[in-house]
Structures are given as structure tokens and as C-alpha cells.
Amino acid sequence: MSAYQTNDQGELMIGGVPATQLAQQYGTPLYVYDVSRIREAIQSYKQAFATQAINYSASYAAKAFATVAMFQVAASEGAHLDLVSGGEITTALKAGFNMQHTSFNGNNKTDEELQLALDSGLGTIIVDNDYELERLSRFASDRGATQDILLRVTPGISAHTHAYIMTGQADSKFGYDVASGQALAAIAKAQQLPGINLRGIHAHIGSQIFEVAGYVAEAQKLVALAAEAHYQPEIIDLGGGFGIRYTDDDKPLPTTTFIDALTPAIQEACAAANMTVPDIWLEPGRSIVGPAGYTLYTAGSRKVVPGIRTYQSIDGGMGDNIRPALYQAKYDVLLASQPDAPKSETLTIAGKNCESGDIIAKDVALPPVHPGDTLAVLATGAYGYSMASLYNRNPRPAVVFAENGKSSVVVRRETWQDLVDHDLDYDA
Ligand SMILES: Cc1ncc(COP(=O)(O)O)c(C=O)c1O
Ligand SMILES: N[C@@H](CCCC[NH3+])C(=O)O
């Protein structure tokens, strides 16, 4: 699929609605999702597994974009949810999500979060460490309950991605270390503790990954760990991390390529270890919502630094998209009214925050841009809204869903008044 769609007039279309119309109707900066693309991405996991003789579950990793409306779309497509905080659990409850179909990850779950998970009947808690395991055992036993869990382990695999989003290598804050024997000990311990039903093993090797080799190695490592522990898992959860296209530099693999590689890897490893093939669980986040999301901005002031570059400022920036500043992430930018017009300008798209590093895209080729024009940044659907901040007291943008030519607000725009509503006077 092309990275974007246009209508007969050559205008950028999102979910069947012209992007300039969305900008006019709802204001900018604005997050817009093409909901059909979210649905297609969820279905791509189902279709990829359909050809495999294996039981599976695909949980949407909510951290990529956690809102009530998104969880309702996930439910309508039959996806499960992976949650990482009390806030995400509360969002799932508000969305009316079947909590049995959710899992709960995180390296430092608080007592309140564990109790909320138990209160809400959350399906599977993915336990990260002994401190959590012992408290969960106690909390569940105290209420006469038994909680299904997986154990999160760190398999010692370095995926080729940005250092900040690598998680599977041994030097990581997440999970029980496999190499030093922590994971082996945890499997034995979890099987003994009251209030705990150990259903399997979980790992996540990183994010924005474009190779199957890491997943194959991960699958083999998890099966080997189970075999060494003389433990037959019901579930092996390989996490998420499937890479997407931000610019032409990124070459994402089709979902089927990943599934076609990791399924036989698990089957063969299980056959060699004389184990029954467990269910495979995955937790894709970025690949479900990333390409479906656009951020619309209005062009404002411009500064030409002769012989160096031209800064074109927009009415948003690092507050709504921290990824360029945090990971040196690259994005494509389009002139929404005529994305395919001849590109005669080279512009650096600068945010409005008080940071020199608040640059959304450097030296991008664009048609002539004038103040008031709508600019669209592509593939901002994952980790844009969910990592947004209030830096400089810029309110967070609204989120709009567009599908089949219709659009509606699913998160209302924050106002300046919202920002001060939480402030209290201090009687100095
Ligand atoms: C445990 C876990 N599962 C799933 C994900 C989702 O990853 P991605 O959005 O790259 O698919 C993450 C984030 O990297 C994660 O930490
Ligand atoms: N937030 C990161 C990915 C880390 C995901 C969580 N483990 C990103 O924007 O790429």
C-alpha cells in the first residue's frame, strides 16, 4: 500500500476525508487516524497465523496509543490488549474491554496496580521480578484467588534497533535474566507459590525490528529455557517490535514473513526438546497503529539562514511528537493540499517549543509552503499521542478517527483552562 492516498484533486485523504478539511473542522495540531488501516493491520496478524497449524493470540500493545476508542476498535477486530499501567487498565475498563483478554506488563507494578488488576479480572499478569511475584502471590491468596501469569525473561538477544528501544539484551531493566539462571529459578518458584498459575514465558527483544533472525533466536531460547527447567509452557509470548515504514529508508517485512519464520522455529525447537508446541502470543503495538496515524499542523513563521537552511515553524512539535528528539526518528512531511506537486523547497520543519532540538523533520523537499497551509506528518500513529507532554504548557491536540468518509473526535483537545484546572494556590 502507498504511504498515503489522494483524491481526484490531488489532495491528501485520510479515511476518505481531505486532510485540509479535517484541519479546518477540528483545528491543528491534530492527530488523525485512518481507522481502516488499523483494522487491516490487526487482520494481517490473523491472516498470517491462519495458514499455520498453531494456536495464537495477538494482543495490541496499548502503550503505542491507548485511548477508549482505540481499545473499542481493537475489540471489534478481535484483538486482545497488552497493558502497562493502572491508567491503561482504567482505559480498558472504560472502553468496556473484556478484561480476560488483557495482559499486564511492566517492571515495577505498584501495589495499587496489582490490586486493580485483580479487582478487574485481568486475564494474565506478566510478572517481571521476584518482588512482584511475591506480592502478587500474597494479594491473590489473600482474596482466595489464583492469578494466571507469564514470566518475563531477558533472553540476551540484541535486536538491531536504536539503543533506547532495545530490550532483549542481558543489560536491561526488564525481566528475569536467562544467562545467570534467574529465569530458571523463577520458573521453579512460580510453580510453588500459592495464588499463582504459571502459564508460560514471555520476552520482548525490542522495537522497530526489520529482521526475522532475532525472533527465531528468541523463540529457540525460550523453548530451551523451558526444556532446561523441565517445564511445559502453555504459552510462549514473543512480544512485539515489528518494524514499520517512516521514510523510504525503512523496509518493513510483511507480517506473514515474521510469522512464517517464527512458527516453524518454535515447532522445531519443541520437537527437538520433546515438548508439546505451546500457543504463541504476540504483542504488536507500532505495526498496528503507526502507519494509520497522521499529525496535521498549520505552517507559521519562517526563518531563512542564508546558505545553511530554512526553518519552517509549525503550531506543534516535540510536545506532540517526542520521537525525533528522543530517537533521532525520521518522518515524511507532506503539503496536505497538494502532496504530489513539484517539490521546489527544502524546509526544516521546526516545532514551537523552546528547544533547538525541537525539529520534526530536517531538510525535507516540499512544494511551496505558505503561512496557514496544512502540513501532514505521516506514520505518527504509534508513540505520538501516547508520549505527548505538556512542555511549555502547550495543550495536547485532539485525536480524530476517520473512516469511510466520516470523522469524529475521540479525544477532545486540551484547553489552556484544562492546564490550570489542576493547579492550586500556595499560600506563601
Ligand atoms: C513488552 C512489550 N511488548 C510489546 C511492545 C510493543 O512493541 P512495538 O510497538 O514495537 O510493537 C513493547 C514495546 O516495545 C514492549 O515493551
Ligand atoms: N516508545 C518507543 C518504543 C518503545 C516501546 C516500549 N518498549 C518508540 O517510540 O519508538
* CB-based contact 358:317 (threshold 8 Å): yes
Residue with cell 478517527: 401
Positions of CATH 2.40.37.10 in the chain:
5-33+292-421
The answer to whether the CB of 243 is under 6 A from ligand 1 is no
**Arithmetic mean of pLDDT over the chain:** 96
Residue whose Cα lies nearest atom 6 of ligand 2: it is 165
The arithmetic mean of pLDDT across residues 305-310, rounded, is 97
The Cα 319–Cα 397 span in angstroms is 9
User: What is the per-residue pLDDT for 171?
Assistant: 83
Portion of the chain with pLDDT greater than 90, in percent: 94
Residue whose Cα lies nearest atom 9 of ligand 2: it is 383
C-alpha cell at 300: 507559521
| 285 is an annotated ligand-binding site residue | yes
As for the ipTM of the complex, it is 0.98
C-alpha cell at 299: 505552517
State the catalytic residue, choosing from 145, 188, 354, 390: 354
270 among known catalytic residues = no
The Cα 288–Cα 308 span in angstroms is 38
Which residue, 234, 210, 205, 207, is CA-closest to 221? 205
Taking the centre of ligand 1 as the mean of its atom positions, its distance from the CA of residue 109, in whole angstroms, is 17
| 152 is an annotated ligand-binding site residue | no
| 283 is an annotated ligand-binding site residue | yes
The arithmetic mean of pLDDT across residues 295-324, rounded, is 98
- Checking if the pLDDT of 110 tops 80, the result is yes
Taking the centre of ligand 2 as the mean of its atom positions, its distance from the CA of residue 382, in whole angstroms, is 8
Taking the centre of ligand 2 as the mean of its atom positions, its distance from the CA of residue 240, in whole angstroms, is 10
The arithmetic mean of pLDDT across residues 32-58, rounded, is 96
User: What is the per-residue pLDDT for 159?
Assistant: 72
- Checking if the pLDDT of 254 tops 90, the result is yes
Which ligand 1 atom minimizes the distance to the CA of 284? 11
Taking the centre of ligand 1 as the mean of its atom positions, its distance from the CA of residue 309, in whole angstroms, is 36
Summarised one tens digit per residue, pLDDT across range 148-177 is: 999 999 999 877 665 555 566 778 899 999
Residue from 60, 63, 82, 289 to probe ligand 1 pocket by mutation (most atoms less than 8 Å from CB):
63
Positions of CATH 3.20.20.10 in the chain:
51-287
The Cα 271–Cα 266 span in angstroms is 9
Residue from 83, 124, 150, 283 to probe ligand 1 pocket by mutation (most atoms less than 8 Å from CB):
283
- Architecture of the structural domain at 5-33+292-421: Beta Barrel (2.40)
The answer to whether the CB of 63 is under 6 A from ligand 2 is yes
The gap from C-alpha 286 to its chain's centroid, in whole angstroms, comes to 4
Please give the CATH topology (third level) of the domain spanning 51-287. Answer: TIM Barrel (3.20.20)
